[in-house]
Structures are given as C-alpha cells and as structure tokens.
Amino acid sequence: MISRTLLTSAAAIALAAGAIIPAAAAPNDSAGEALEARFDSMIDPADQVAWLKEMSSAPNQVGSPHDKANAEMQLAMFRKWGWDAHIETFQALYPTPISTTVEMIAPTRVALGGQEPAVPGDATSGNTAGAMPPYLEYQGDGDVTAGVVYVNYGMPDDYDALARRGISVKGKIVLARYGGGWRGLKPKLAQEHGAAGCLIYSDPANDGYAHADSYPKGGARPAQGIQRGSVEDMTTYPGDPLTPGVGATAKAKRLTRETSKVILNIPALPISYADASKIIAALQGPVVTGKERGGLGMTYHWGGKDAVKVHLAVKSDWSLKPVYDVIAMLKGSTYPDQWVIRGNHHDGWVFGAADPLAGQVALMSEAKALGALYRGGWRPKRTIVYASWDAEEPGLIGSTEWVEQHAAELKQKAVLYINTDNPGRGYWGAGGSHDLQHFANQAARPVMDPQTGVSVVERARAKILADHYEDPASVKPWLYKAAKAGGDLPISALGSGSDYSAFFQHLGIATIDTGFGGEDYEGGSYHSVYDSFDHVMKFDDPGMKYGAAVSKVVGRMVMRAADAERVPAHYSDFASTVERYVGELGKLATKQRAKDRELKELTDQGTFKLTSRPDDPTVAPEDKGITPLIDMLALQDAADRLERSAHAADAVVGQLDSLPPATRAKVDAQLRTIDQSLIDPDGLPGRPWFKNLVYAPGTLTGYGAKTLPGVREAIEQRRWDDAREYVKKTAAVLNAYADRLDAAVAAAGTAQ
C-alpha cells in the first residue's frame, strides 16, 4: 500500500512538468495514420449490404438452421481472411413454443395472436416458415383465463397508480405496453403482484404512427407488428438460466427449470396493437389519462372489475439448444497474452437485419480489413480477438457462457472489450468505462459522418447543442457544458442489453459499446418479422453507410488498443464522472427524504382525500416512511482521493515515453487491468453475479444503468442497511482503483 504523501509528491512532480495530457489515444506516428487510411480504404459498404442480405434471408433465431449456417459462413470467412478461427459451442436452455394461444372470450369472442403477415415491398416478410411465432423466452408456460388489467408500462409507478385506485392484478392477466423499462420486468413485477399472466404490446405512441408512417410506407411499427424478446430475469444474472457463473458446456452442472431463479412462473406473450386495441376497447373502470395512456385512438381504462376475459396459453419445449460462438484471433507480436476483444452477436429474433446483423456485418468488414493488413505484414502488438456471439437475444448467452468458461484467462489477458449490436444511423455515441472516454472520442473523431461529411464527434456535439437550443431541459447540464466546451463528449454509463455485460459487470474488464442513432427507425421493426433487409435499406441505414462508419470507428479502437504502447486511458475522466455520481447520490437521498416528508405532511392533512376526483376516486400514495440520513462520507472521501490520484496518474502516463522500459512495464502492470479493481467478489445485494460496484443495469430499469448501484438502488428501494454497507464497499473499490493509480505513480516516481 502506497502512502498518500508519496502520491502527492509524485503527482507534484508530474504536475510541475505540465504533463497533464491524455495518454496517447491517437496514432502518434505517421505509420499509424497510414495504417488507418489503408484500413479505411478496405471498408466497403457494398460488402456489408451483400452479407446483410444473405445473413438476414431466413429466420436465424437460436437453434435455427440459418443461425448455424451464418456461424459457419462467418467461420469460413474469418479463415479465408487469415484469422485463426473456430466455433465454440455451448448447450443452453432455450425453450421453443409448441403452442401459443391468445383469445378474448368476453365480452365477445375474438381470436388474437399469431404470426405477423407479409407486407408488400418486404421480400422476406412472407418467409416465416422457419420462424417461431411471437414468443417471450423464459416465460413460464401455463393456461389461464382471467380478467384483464391495463398496467401501462407495468413498472413500479404504475402499480402505485393502480393501488391508489384499489385495483388489484391478483389472478388477472395484465396488459402492459412496451417502454418505460426493460421488457422482462413487466411479467416479473406482474407475477410479484399476483398476476396470472402477462401480455405485452407495442403501443403506437411508443414506436408506431406517432413517430413515422407505418411500415412499409414508413419505418414505424405497423398495427400487426410484434416485439418478441426475452423475459429472463437478467438483472439477477444473464446467460443460460441453468448454469449461472459457469460455462454451459455439455458437461456443466445444471440447475433445473424449477430451481433456476431467472425463469418466470406465469405465461406471457407479446401481441400487436391491432390485437391489444380490441382488448383495450372493451375494458371498463376508471379512465387512464395523461402519461399513463398510450396513443391508440380511443379512451383507455384500467379495467380489473369488468366482464373482459382473455384466454392465454403457452406450452413450450424446454430442451437445451446449441449455441455457436465464432471466435477468431490475430496473434499479437509483442504482448500476445494481452487481448483486445471485439464482439457482436449473430442470432436474431426472426431475420434480425438491424438487430444484430447491421452490427455483425460492420464487424465482418473490420475483420476482412484487419485480415488483409495482417496478411500484408502488419503485426499488432496485442492479440486481437473477434467474436460473433450466438444466443444474445434470449439472454446474452453466447457471450456470457464464453466469459464464464474463460473467466480466469480473461482476467489475466483481456485489456478491452468493444461491443456493437444494432448500430443504427445518425449520431455517434459510446458508453462504457469512463477512463476510456478520451480514447473513444479520439477513435471516433477522424471518422466522417456519411451524411454531412464532418467528424462524427462534431455531428454528435452539434446534436447536443441543437437539442439544448430547442429544449434546454432535455439536455443534462453536465452534458451541455461538455459539448459546449468543445473537447471530448461524455460517454454514457452502461446498463445492460447487449454482450458487454459479462465482460464489464461480471469481470470488470474495461469496455466500450458504440454505435449511431437518432435517425433510423429500428424501433419500428425491433424484434419483429419486419426487422428485415428491406427495412434496413429503406429506413435504417440505406447502403450501410453508417455500417461503414461503425467499422471505421471500431477498427480504430481495435488497432489503437492493440498497437499502443499501453491501452490508453485517462483516469481523470473516470474520477470526475465518479465525483458526479457521488454528488447525485447525495441529491437523491435529500430529494427522496423531502418527498417522503411532503407525503407524510399532506397525508396527515388529508390533502389526498380532498383531491380525490368524484369520477376517479384515489387514496393517498402509500407511506413508505422517511428516508434517513445516510452517512456517505466514506464515498465522498474515496471520490476525492480518486480525483487527486487520477490527476497524478494522468500526469505520469503523459510522460511515460520518457521513462525507461522497465519502469514503463511496472507502471503498465498497475494500470492494464485497473478496471477490474471495481469488482467486489460478493457482488451487488441479491445478485452476486453483478460484481462491478460502479456500473450495473438497474433491477427496476433492466437496460438503464444505475451507477454506484449498491448505494443508489438501496436508497431508491429503501434498504437502508444495504445503503450503509455499500457506501463502505463502494468506497473500497474506488480506493482499490486509486491504490493502483498511486502504485503506478509511485513506480514512475521511484524511477525518476
């Protein structure tokens, strides 16, 4: 353990040298620039269009012949391009529907559900013979007939709104719309509230005609469009439900369906708004108004006490299915045991053209170009690992099982994981480890936006500034400030929803997820039959121009990370981000306490009795007690120390080239896997698989990140003991990170 006096003195030296510049995140020689220019010249969007068309020509869900064929095609291409490639196979629980039934039986009998119809102008939309009917992976099977309650997004706030109206979902089928939080939380919360079944539909307010013309005229979800998806309880753990923490090899020890904690007990199915509107039109009870109603052209009612009855039945084949991960390597010349890993998945829900294949063909473009460079004599210092994951859709399975299977090796070797998924069109963005914020910006900066010809970073900056002009409240002040300052754009915190989870949140490996967005209509085809080659070509990324931009951004990240003297990081970016998070926690607790007190005061005064509407009677919100003062000093102290340690470390790294190689190696040894110091082996409360104490998917957001989650969620969910405990634990991982920084500074300082 290094003393803080030592640190301060080493930092002072570095500071005096005026050396606070980011570590080399850009190629620092003309050779690097030339390499990148050659790489760019080989990225051909026409390749991507051709591969996309082939790979999305037939249903490619897990276990389908075309999914396997795609894996094998990629394997062959990797090999052709000079990579050392293989397919690694896992056996995962992947139920497939034997029968699915949705029908309204009262007040009138109406058959609902079934496959989406073909539409003119979409060449594959009729090619659904090998597709599954609309389905939710890891729903619970069952056969129920029950009344219906509309639950809006089916999130905790919505159950509060129902409780205030005395409406229970016990024994009912809930009808939830997509949005407001991750899909899997909807049936999970419904089940926790006693529901017998769950239907989820796509409301036109969220991804339909409110945003664009309906497909095929425009990119928006049509009346018959259905969003499939997984409802595995991924906020507990992702991957194969039967093998948490270990690779789902053929011989792995397995839980049973019944003992797995991430599979639902109630049946659930996704439906279209053409179907949902028939149920909604029949519901009675209090009227749903304001933000809780969707965009259908009718009055919404909560239902619950009326004569609407729906029959919902699901029967599935609960057998294991094979998962084909394609793994390809280019061996590093100098540090072969340091791996730069880059992945995207190849399984879709039906044709999966945008999700995931638009990202997959960008990855293949990179692999083709990198292979050509390699064959032409280029040798990256570090080993490059390209992964085409299978079974991301049901639960990030291909990546998770691979990471669990190779965990020990990855902890040693992985220096960076770079992910893409359905990368879209429009504005560049990235999320991940904030010590790589500058690195991500530098990699994106030289890449030109296909539409405007300016740097993708500058176009993204323009978007933040224009949004602020249109509606200042829509842009976070810190984001606006950073955009206006003209330097790096902040990257976002990662929650979940793609293959980085096991790397980032289970092992703590430094991670970047990147892509474009804001000008595509992938939301309108998402997880439906209409996520097709034609939809992508017309509405998402015509000509795969943004696909090419993705390749150029990610290719730079890969080449720079593989070739740099060390993986470039800028620790102050992480420190200042953590400082902001810690500040947010303080505000969260203060605001929640004030809100609790306001509620108590108003309830005591009878305010909610006085404001209950005659035609929509409500009781006061539930009194959940007063949020106590939580001592966060340890966290504030750790953030403060981190800030100073990071500045010192950045200064040292800035002049690393002037140090002798042996010293550099010592410094690098401290920093190379520094992000793993954010891991607590015990993980988060109630979900030990999630071990990163700075970034996690929210248990009640699912995709959305919760930063400093051990503390933040404990406050939000009123687990005060957890909050106090995780203040200490989180402070400890931040101190562990700072220890590494201090040790690096000490190593450099000792040498000088």
Q: Closest CB to a copy of itself among 109 and 484?
A: 484
Count of residues that interact with a copy of itself, criterion CB under 8 A: 45
Count of other CB atoms within 10 angstroms of residue 297: 8
Q: Which is nearer to a copy of itself, 250 or 473 (CB)?
A: 473
Question: Which of residues 296, 414, 436, 559 is near a copy of itself by CB under 8 A?
Answer: 296
- To a copy of itself, the closest distance from the beta carbon of 166 in angstroms equals 18
**Near a copy of itself by CB under 8 A: residue from 12, 287, 619, 665:** 287
Question: What is the distance of C-alpha 600 from the center of its chain?
Answer: 37
- C-alpha 641 chain-centroid distance: 30
**Mask: binding to a copy of itself, 503-542, rule CB under 8 A, as x and -?**
----------------x-----------------------
CA 625 to mean position of chain CA atoms: 33
452 part of the interface to a copy of itself, by CB under 8 A: yes
Greatest alpha-carbon span in the chain: 84
Q: Report whether 735 contacts 727 (CB < 8 A).
A: no
- Can you tell me whether residue 154 is helix, strand or coil? coil
Q: How far is the CB of 515 from a copy of itself (least distance, A)?
A: 17
Which of 72, 598, 657, 682: binder of a copy of itself (CB under 8 A)?
A: 598
Sign of the alpha-carbon torsion through 627, 631, 637, 638: negative
Segment interacting with a copy of itself, rule: CB under 8 A, options 286-294, 333-341, 577-585, 688-696: 286-294
User: Is the CB of residue 578 less than 8 Å from the CB of residue 694?
Assistant: yes
Of 551-580, binders to a copy of itself (CB under 8 A) are none
**Interface stretch with a copy of itself, choices 117-125, 228-236, 553-561, 604-612 (CB under 8 A):** 604-612
Which of the residues 181 through 210 are near a copy of itself (CB under 8 A)? 204, 209-210
Q: Could you tell me the smallest distance in angstroms from the CB atom of residue 270 to a copy of itself?
A: 20
Among 3, 595, 622, 631, binds a copy of itself (CB under 8 A): 595
Long-range contacts from 597-602, C-beta under 8 angstroms, 24+ separation: 597/626, 599/623, 600/626
The rounded distance, in Å, linking the Cα atoms of 353 and 547 is 12
Q: Select from 130, 142, 156, 218 the one that contacts a copy of itself (CB under 8 A).
A: 218
Please, which contacts does 656-663 make with residues 24 or more away whose CB atoms are closer than 8 Å?
656/23, 656/565, 656/566, 656/748, 657/565, 659/748, 659/751, 659/752, 660/751, 662/751, 663/747, 663/748, 663/750, 663/751
Nearer to a copy of itself, 148 or 220 (CB): 220
Angle subtended at Cα 631 by Cα 628 and Cα 635, rounded to the nearest 5 degrees: 135
Q: Which of 57, 125, 214, 551 binds a copy of itself (CB under 8 A)?
A: 214
Does 609 bind a copy of itself (CB under 8 A)? Our answer is yes
Return the range that interacts with a copy of itself (CB under 8 A); candidates 334-342, 429-437, 558-566, 614-622.
Answer: 614-622
**Nearer residue to a copy of itself within complex by CB, 602 or 669:** 602
Closest distance to a copy of itself from the beta carbon of 698 (Å): 22
Residue 33 CA: distances (Å) to CA of 42, 225, 270:
15, 46, 49
- Pick from 295, 628, 688, 704: which binds a copy of itself (CB under 8 A)? 295
Contact by Cβ (8 Å): 527, 388: no
Stretch that binds a copy of itself, among 181-189, 391-399, 611-619, 695-703 (CB under 8 A): 611-619
Spatial separation of the C-alpha atoms in residues 627 and 630, rounded to whole Å: 9
Distance CA 656, CA 268 (A): 57
Cβ-proximal residues to 226 (8 Å cutoff; 6+ apart), any chain: 116, 134, 202, 270, 271, 272, 527, 528, 529
Specify the DSSP class assigned to residue 687: B
Contact with a copy of itself (CB under 8 A) among 126, 606, 625, 660 = 606
Q: Which residue, 210 or 633, has its beta carbon nearer to a copy of itself?
A: 210
Of positions 66, 183, 211, 664, contacts a copy of itself by CB under 8 A: 211
Span near a copy of itself by CB under 8 A; candidates 81-89, 452-460, 575-583, 625-633: 452-460
Q: How far is the CB of 200 from a copy of itself (least distance, A)?
A: 20
- Strands 695-697 and 705-707, sheet pairing: antiparallel
CB neighbour burial string for 389-423, b if at least 16 within 10 angstroms, e if fewer: bbbbbbbbbbbbbbbbbbbeebeebbbbbbbbbbb
Smallest separation, CB 465 to a copy of itself (Å): 5
CA–CA gap between residue 657 and residue 732 (Å, rounded): 31
CA 170-173-179 angle, to 5 degrees, is 110
The correct pick among 99, 299, 590, 658 for binding a copy of itself (CB under 8 A) is 299
- At closest approach, how far in Å is the CB of 597 from a copy of itself? 11
The encoded tokens of residue 612 equal 């209950």
* Closest approach of a copy of itself to the CB of residue 595, in Å: 8
Closest distance of CB 460 from a copy of itself, Å? 9
CB of 254 to a copy of itself, least distance (A): 48
Scanning residues 431 to 450, which ones bind a copy of itself (CB under 8 A)?
449
Residues in 361-420 that interact with a copy of itself by CB under 8 A: none
**Number of residues that make up the chain:** 752
**Residue ranges binding a copy of itself (CB under 8 A):** 204, 209-214, 218, 220, 287, 289, 293, 295-299, 449, 451-452, 454, 458-459, 462-463, 465-466, 468-469, 519, 595, 598-599, 602, 605-611, 613-615, 621
